[in-house]
Amino acid sequence: MASNAHYNISYPSSLKSFLVYVSLLIITTTHAYAIVTRTTDNTTRTATFYNNGVEIASQKFSANDHVLKTKGTIPDGMINEYDERGQVLCLWTYQNSLPHGPVTYYYPDGATSAIINYAQGKKHGISKEFFNDGSLMLEENYSDGRLHGMRKEYYRNGKVKTIFTYKEGNPFGEGIGKTYYEDGTIKGKVIYNDGKPHGNATAYYPNGFIFSTYSYDKGILNGEVKEYFDNGVIKTLINYKDGILNGQFKTYYSDGRVESEGYIKNGTLLDSKHYDAHGQIDIPDKKFIPTRIQTFIDKDRPAD
- Kind of pairing between the strands at 160-167 and 149-154: antiparallel
| CATH architecture, range 32-144 | Single Sheet (2.20)
pLDDT tens digits, residue range 10-30? 334 444 343 333 333 333 444
Q: At a CB cut-off of 8 Å and minimum separation 6, what does 64 contact?
A: 123, 145
Classify burial at 179, counting beta carbons within 10 Å of its beta carbon; exposed 0-12, middle 13-18, buried 19 or more: middle
Interior CA angle at 155 toward 62 and 150, to 5°?
55
pLDDT tens digits, residue range 132-142? 999 999 999 99
Residue-level pLDDT at 267: 87
Residue-level pLDDT at 298: 77
- 177, 164 contact by CB (below 8 A): yes
Alpha-carbon torsion (205, 208, 209, 215), positive or negative: positive
- 72, 49 contact by CB (below 8 A): yes
Q: What is the CA radius of gyration of the chain?
A: 32
Measure the CA–CA gap between 99 and 193, rounded to whole angstroms: 33
Residue-level pLDDT at 240: 93
Classify burial at 55, counting beta carbons within 10 Å of its beta carbon; exposed 0-12, middle 13-18, buried 19 or more: exposed
pLDDT tens digits, residue range 178-230? 889 999 899 998 887 777 788 888 999 999 999 999 999 888 999 999 999 99
- 211, 229 contact by CB (below 8 A): no
For the chain, which residues make up each domain, given as ranges?
32-144, 148-221, 242-304
Residue-level pLDDT at 3: 43
> Which positions of the chain have pLDDT values less than 50?
1-34, 175, 302-304
Please write down the long-range contacts of 282-289, taking CB distance under 8 Å and 24 or more positions apart. 288/260
Side chain identity, residue 52? N
- 103, 93 contact by CB (below 8 A): yes
Side chain identity, residue 185? T
Burial 73-112 (b: 16+ CB within 10 A, else e): ebbbeebebeeeeeeebbbbbbbebbbbeebebbeeeeeb
Closest CA to 52 of 69, 73, 71, 31: 31
User: pTM here?
Assistant: 0.64
In the chain, the largest separation of any two C-alpha atoms, in whole Å, equals: 125
Concatenated DSSP letters for 216-261?
EETTEE-EEEEEE-TTS-EEEEEEEETTEE-EEEEEE-TTS-EEEE
